[in-house]
Structure 1
């Protein structure tokens, strides 16, 4: 009986060990799919096999912040003071994506202009230049901003303005190419066979020369399957901007209930820090009333008569700066009054040339401004009253127009799982 007991215990232990070893077997993932196909059993990366290289995920593009997707109530929570009735509340869901932590600043746009001037025609360079005349006003002395705001070092990290929707999209395309070039070089180096650097003082010069040759090698075009091709930068959609700005992640409980809704990208209905060491300081720069762009000098001042340096005000719960105030921002969508009624409730986006055509509006007789060149901008600016700082509010402007109060930031699709 004693032997039977020992034998039974040993058998149980063997079963448990087998089960444990099976459970520890790692399941294939997108980044580590394994050495062979789980459907056909055929080996990857063989002479005639499908090439599925092990891949270490690249970090997100510079300055991008991961925004976890989810559902939210899109639309204005405020009274419709414009009486447009173009922004009713509705529930939509947004897929996870990346968004710039800050607005594109003057120094970033000057970097783009420098590259364009070297590699493009004079005509394209001229088209890429921001309209600095947006600062000029016959009844204001803003002349210094016309000549200084874009290029003076003191304004380097102020948000770029005077940029049209078309110019903002051109910047996104250039940034995609610039960042992809860097990643392509990384991918080519990763794909090269390691030759094994020699050790010893006599070999240092040879190793340095080889490293320099690898670094300066002209990158070859990589396929999307390699994983080193950067998804394109683009303007955020209206729904993405609103979702990222309101940042409801900071109000949520584990059971999907929310403690409160938000009017602005922060809690409460005031424009000041409600508590803490910085209690009473402004949470954004905006126009407080007729003729009042900042308040009196001192601690009650928001620190900016016009724009202010990026990151000057607290980030929201998504880690994004200036999603209200500083400058309003272009989004990708074409403007239509019924956008919130017509678009899909998943990744809502309004594109031109589809549904509610521009021909339905009487623009020829000047009874309507609606056409396919109108683009939405959001977020409120230094020259706006607090009403426009609510993420749900929306306005529009021609895609070739520019003002001193509208800038932009970029967004990008989030690929794969972050778990």
Structure 2
């Protein structure tokens, strides 16, 4: 036997007792700086903790770093609406779609509904599917020949990547819920926590379809994948065995897709990051200077004069959005078209703004989450401003049961049921005392104001805010500060939508420290 082989055998024999007794190869655990107990250690309680990490942008989303800006009018209020009084507000960091939701994205949603709920197999599911279809009749007009668009705009492949229109606020809201479930389901399949063959067996099983909240509650238990059963699974139970059920604390699933709030949408449209100087600072990297005083008018601006520059010179004079230039002028003349689109344009047309977001001015107006009120700015919060809250809680069938299937309830579409919180249970709270906050300080007993819908006004608790101009609008409506409204169950050929997602952790990312830190230099004793 060679000398090197003898040396190796001797080394293994010497190391073996050390390993057995937890010697130099003993696994190191993170410790709680509150109790001193180990994390992820079956011999120390088994508390499983995922390492802090940044939330990844979901499919189609871009990161928008939050900040402070002046929300509201940037031009003279030519419509005399007086509904966008400037107010300084702050929004936290969030994600938003790079483009408007396109026809092909929405058709993917309809395909899934038809497959999973299968109206042919169960006619009772037909209303569920029908409720999701956009209203293609929005293209009709008594004095225009738009009938071809009724038939082809949503369906023909030439319009695949054009923004979907004819979608109500309710339909856009439901699309966001569906998108959340599909993204999270795929994340669990790719991670091996759900059997990849599960989707092949879901034809006509709508009530059992994957739903994020139902899964987290244990109401939905799809077959686990191979990785979940493997000893290499990083998720463990208190006894150190592989855990097949993923929790939100594991950091694998994404937060909910949703409609952006009005404040988020307007902040993302202005994209002040494009015009903020970023001087280098030795201690803290980059710092953006506040330029909210130089409020720009349109979302494509790189400076407050509204000019867009490139390496070869100014883009001044070019059409940077899809809008109506003047009466009867929707695209210019043959051989010299201005915005090159008579109808909505493809979702990646024109130049993106400073955040890399397309068509925040023009193309189609967009639904946002907020309920419309003309004077909300005066009473709204200056952080994450939003009107539209109705506070809910899980509907509990049997409070004494530990079995999720008997404690909670799902509806016919597989979603978990929620109910409004009881005002009687909120009486002693300091931050809110009513579950219904849509008309808070505007149309309720506290404000002394009321809205006589259909009598003195068209504003109701179902009126939702619309932001951004459209292909059929004059330039005034392209300003991010302008706002209009429509009832949440109505739709037009000029309104589309895009989704957003909340970002958690430090505004600049969890890899950078939040706050300003003083680096102390102390000598060890």
Instruction: Name the TM tier (shorter chain).
Output: 0.7 to 0.9
Do residues 42 (structure 1) and 37 (structure 2) align? yes
The worse-fitting range, judged by mean Cα deviation, of 140-149 and 346-355 is 346-355
Does 2:196 correspond to 1:172?
no
Equivalent residue in structure 2 for 1:413, among 491, 496, 502:
502
* Change in 2 beyond 3 A, CA 1:143/1:277: farther
CA contact (8 A) 2:66 2:91 kept: yes
Deviation at 1:56, TM superposition (A): 6.2
- Alpha carbons 1:281, 1:300 under 8 Å: kept: no
**Relative to structure 1, is the Cα distance of residues 283 and 164 closer, same or farther in structure 2, using a 3 angstrom cutoff?**
same
Q: Deviations along 1:325-348, whole A, 9 cap, x unmatched? A: 110000000000111111100011
TM-score, scaled relative to structure 2: 0.66
Alpha carbons of 1:364 and 1:303: their partners in 2 closer, same or farther (altered >3 Å)? closer
1:240 to 264, 277, 300: 264
3-state SS of 2:128 partner = helix
Residue correspondence of structure 1 range 197-208 to structure 2 within 5 A: none
Any stretches of 5+ residues in structure 1 without a counterpart?
1-32, 197-218
Offset of residue 220 of structure 1: 5.8
1:142 to 124, 130, 146: 146
**Alignment check: 8 A CA contact 1:98 1:412 kept:** yes
Deviation at 1:124, TM superposition (A): 1.1
Partners of 2:453 and 2:60 in 1: how far apart? Answer: 44
Aligned to 2:116: 119
Following the alignment from structure 1 to structure 2, what is the Cα–Cα distance between the partners of residues 53 and 364? 51
1:278, CA displacement in angstroms?
Answer: 8.2
Q: 2:440 matched to 1:354?
A: yes
C-alpha contact (below 8 Å) 1:57/1:227 kept by paired residues: no
CA distance in 2, matches of 1:228, 1:361: 46
Indicate which of 129, 137, 147 corresponds to 2:133: 129
The change in CA–CA distance for 1:269 and 1:35 in structure 2 (over 3 A counts) is: closer
With 399-408 and 39-48 compared, the bigger mean Cα shift is at: 39-48
CA distance in 2, matches of 1:238, 1:325: 16
Distance in 2 separating the partners of 1:147 and 1:299: 29
- Give the Cα–Cα distance (whole angstroms) in 2 for the partners of residues 304 and 364 of structure 1: 37
Shift in Å at residue 186 of structure 1?
Answer: 3.7
CA contact (8 A) 1:329 1:379 kept: yes
What secondary structure does 1:128 align onto?
A: coil
1:256 aligns with 2:280: no
Match of 2:250 in 1: 226
| 1:290 corresponding residue in structure 2 | 327
Cα distance in 2 between the residues matched to 1:238 and 1:124: 29
* Cα distance change on mapping 1:270 and 1:385 into 2, 3 Å: farther
2:59 is matched with which residue? 62
Moved more, 75-84 or 291-300: 291-300
Pick from 475, 490, 515 the counterpart of residue 401 of structure 1: 490
Contact 1:245 1:323 in 2 (8 A): yes
Name the structure 2 match of 1:184.
188
8 A contact 1:72–1:92 mirrored in 2:
yes
Correspondence for 2:220: none
Q: 1:100 aligns with which of 94, 97, 101?
A: 97
Instruction: Determine the C-alpha separation between the residues in 1 that align with 2:308 and 2:338.
Output: 13
The question of whether the paired residues in 1 share the 8 Å contact of 2:29 and 2:41 is answered with no
Q: What is residue 332 of structure 1 aligned with on the other side?
A: 369
Instruction: Show the counterpart of 1:71.
Output: 68
1:49, distance to aligned residue in structure 2 (A): 2.9
* Preserved CA contact (<8 Å) 1:327 1:405: yes
1:372 to 461, 465, 468: 461
Residues 29 and 40 of structure 2 are in contact (CA less than 8 Å); yes or no, is this contact kept in structure 1?
no
TM-aligned CA distance change 1:247 to 1:190, over 3 Å: farther
Q: Is the 8 A contact 2:360 2:468 kept in 1?
A: yes
Report the equivalent of 2:402.
none
| Contact 1:98–1:414 (Cα < 8 Å) also in 2 | yes
Matched, 1:83 2:58: no
Change (3 A) 1:265 1:281: same
How many residue pairs get aligned? The number is 365
For 1:384-395, what aligned pairs fall within 5 Å after superposition?
Answer: 384-395=473-484
CA contact (8 A) 2:322 2:363 kept: yes
Distance change in 2, residues 1:270/1:388 (3 Å): farther
Match of 2:353 among 290, 296, 316: 316
TM (norm. structure 1) is 0.81
- 1:117 Cα offset (Å): 1.2
Q: How far is 1:271 from its partner?
A: 8.1
Offset at residue 294 of structure 1 (A): 1.4
Bigger proportion of residues as helix? 1
5+ unaligned residues in a row in structure 2: which ranges?
Answer: 1-27, 118-124, 194-225, 234-242, 279-287, 389-437, 513-525
* 8 A contact 2:294–2:304 mirrored in 1: no
Q: Which moved more, 1:50-59 or 1:116-125?
A: 50-59
Q: After superposition, what is the alpha-carbon deviation per residue over 1:8-27, rounded to whole angstroms, capped at 9, x for unaligned? A: xxxxxxxxxxxxxxxxxxxx
**Secondary structure in 1 aligned to 2:106?**
helix
Secondary structure, counterpart of 2:485 in structure 1:
strand
Give how far 1:132 is off: 0.1
